[in-house]
Structure 1
């Protein structure tokens, strides 16, 4: 089994000024906390990218792009990432993704 953090590890390190917990052990806790939040965001970003392969309507594509932009603000800090990951946006993304189910044929359905 292989684990892929989808870039969340690198992003977490970058949010802490590029410092490594290996060089500064006191950063382990804060970096791990940032990683947990960043991983939550990156999971949704990956799902939004996968959704781009669906035959989305113009409105759905606009929503997808808006949610993606909201998950990747320019002014990121560990605190901002924590607020983003624990705020209402992940639930909004989840609801949007569920709303796309009509694009996926039911199992056993003939195309």
Structure 2
């Protein structure tokens, strides 16, 4: 691994990747540092996982509160552990598709 880089980027979220890819387009090398998981807060702990769980909660609520006459409220059963597992699958798939593949393909970007 190279010890000299033209650009040092703190974090590995979408802005960090945009900066690293722009550096590569300009023929420069970039290194990103990450204390936690590749992809940053939004992908791993913020936007993506919270929206996934909020959508599941919305479906449960709407089944108990139908908007149309003639539809009766239903009690939807859910398995919280399974919801968390599904959320993690979504996060991992997105992280692999949007972030890990770029690091694997781009020889000028190191994490």
TM-score by length of 1: 0.31
Structure with greater strand share of residues: 2
Structure with greater helix share of residues: 1
- Bigger CA radius of gyration: 2
TM-score by length of 2: 0.31
